[in-house]
Amino acid sequence: RVVARQMEISPCTEELRFLAHAEPGKAKATHRESSGFVLSRQSDVLLVAARSGGSVSWDFSDQAVDYEDEVWAENRFDSELRRRRVTGHEARFYLRIPAHTHDLSVEIFSAVCAGKAEADQVERTLANGPRTPGEINFAASFPKRAAASAARVFAGDPGFNHPAGGDAYYRIEHFPVPKEMDLLVGGMGWLSNGDLAVCTWPGEVYIVHDPQGPATQATYRRFARGLNEPLGLHVFNDQIYVTQKCELTRLVDTDGNGEADLYETVSDGWGFTGNYHSFAFGPLVDGASNFYVLLAGQRGRWEVPFAGWCVELSPNSGRLEGFCSGLRAPNGWTAFGPSRDFFATDNQGEWVGTCKLNHLQRGKFYGFPSASPAPYADYARPKDFEPPAVWFPRKLSASASGITVINDDRFGPFQGQMLVGDFQNGVVMRVALEKVKSEWQGAVWPFMKGFLGAVNRLTLGPDGKLYVGGCKRAWSTSAPMEYSLERAGFTGETPFEVKEVQSASSTTNILAATAPRRSTTMAGTTARRRSRSPRPAPRLIG
């Protein structure tokens, strides 16, 4: 277990002291001439070490302390800043960084070891490793533990008894997810070998093997655990990235046992209070390999940086900056169209009259009071907001969730459109967008129901089928099960539906159907654009 931190320090004319580690209570530490200290504790040994292109050194102190600390706490449902006094003894390890005239790379390690022999081995590995500025490649060279065991693999639940559902047009299959996994799906992404990576709200990541085969034969390998409520997963260059409440993390299996042993912090540059609603979603990735994380503004505070923002970050440089703001609970996200424009759903509540689909653009504000770096005046009294591409009717969508794009004609006659989930109603909606004078607008229809879990995440598989991840527990929903993984496929029979709506003028819309009209009326369409439109009762397919 190793925590590694890397700093790139610009030229400095004075010596710097960095508090690398502090631990309460009296402690006995042994100085290591080459790199740092070894601290003997009750059940293990802590190695605090560093390496750098410069001549860094260490100071250790075991001293009485009396100081005030600030912590975020919850008062009912809201966050508040509390102050506490810390007294007693504290062991501190300071890294001394000398004055330097060029950029300096410093790597600091805190390694928990079974004993001093293992600490010696880890220290030698660190001392002999490469010192490439800006590249964290040291962890892969750590020696394997002899006791490292294979990752745990689960088979499907043999007692699962839910037959396939759906209708004449789309068939819904239910995976017999093992009960002990608690698969409350927070994110999904496809690996190059056709396996499906799934993160769960309780904090684990599973690899679903053979998910495109018979649902009863799929197996589930635990890849990571101990994460902080991850609500997004993305596979980039065949590596798994998860968005936790407090950071964006890359998960790597360095010893080949099938389970991640390197949890690399890509960025933790946004504020985090620990509030139950301080959710983080994403990531999205652009063509330049920049990542984007969407942060909930609900229950946020202005003092908490970037609450309510979509932030852009560079994994290589560590740069983080605001992209857009005004987001309440952006529980769905996707890149859409030839330019890969970013879209996100947002949930109804304070300042958001009904759920919506926003086209995210740099510098735009979408309506919910957002934290610094937005001016406090805008937080206290939000300004006019950017209208969404689609407003979702309240009856159809009470809690809009995940998004996927139909990019495979094996899924029926709707290629190029979006599918959007709704958590509370447990349904999937269909959205057709068009660009009019550089602005996206669109219409929404009910599309599919009959899922066992609350629809939280959607992804279209390599087989042209829709995979639906369900989650329940903390919020109300019509879905009967706490968790679910389900799959919907096109049967080959085309439904008679409105396929899309196009603007002919400011007052006229043209409706296109999936087949020639069979009667003088077309029931069951629900169009919600920026302009006003009638609201017939929706008809759910299924």
Identity of the residue numbered 427: V
Q: In the prediction, which pLDDT does 538 show?
A: 36
Q: In the prediction, which pLDDT does 519 show?
A: 54
Identity of the residue numbered 135: E
Torsion of CA 68, 69, 70, 75, to 10 degrees: -80
For tokens 């919850």, what's the residue?
74
Cα–Cα distance, 28 to 172 (Å, whole number): 62
Residues 306, 468, 426, 203, CA torsion sign: negative
Q: How far is CA 459 from CA 348, 395, 421, 487, in A?
A: 23, 24, 11, 10
For tokens 């029926």, what's the residue?
412
Q: What is the DSSP letter of 315?
A: T
Cα–Cα distance, 424 to 476 (Å, whole number): 6
CB 251 within 8 A of CB 265: no
CB 305 within 8 A of CB 323: no
419 is written with which tokens? Answer: 């599918």
Q: What secondary structure does DSSP assign to 351-401, as a single string?
A: TBSS-EEEEE-TT-B-SS---TTS-HHHHHS----PPPSEEPPTTT-SSEE
Q: Which of 479, 470, 476, 490 is nearest to 177 (CA)?
A: 470
Q: In the prediction, which pLDDT does 528 show?
A: 47
Q: In the prediction, which pLDDT does 136 show?
A: 40
Q: What is the pLDDT along the chain (542 residues), one digit of tens a residue?
A: 778 888 878 888 999 999 999 888 877 778 765 578 888 888 888 889 888 877 888 888 888 989 888 888 888 788 888 888 989 989 899 999 999 988 888 888 888 998 888 888 888 777 666 544 444 443 334 445 555 678 999 999 999 999 999 999 999 999 999 999 999 999 999 999 999 999 999 999 999 999 999 999 999 999 999 999 999 999 999 999 999 999 999 999 988 899 998 888 899 999 999 888 999 999 999 999 999 999 999 999 999 999 999 999 998 777 899 999 999 999 999 999 999 999 999 999 999 999 999 999 999 999 999 999 999 999 988 888 999 999 999 999 999 999 999 999 999 999 999 999 999 999 999 999 999 888 999 999 999 999 999 999 999 999 999 999 999 877 778 888 999 999 999 999 999 998 888 876 666 667 788 877 655 444 444 444 443 333 333 334 33
Considering only the C-alpha atoms of the chain, give the largest distance between any 2 of them, rounded to a whole number of Å: 87
Residues 65, 71, 74, 75, CA torsion sign: positive
104 is written with which tokens? Answer: 């300096």
Torsion of CA 72, 76, 78, 79, to 10 degrees: 0
Q: In the prediction, which pLDDT does 120 show?
A: 85
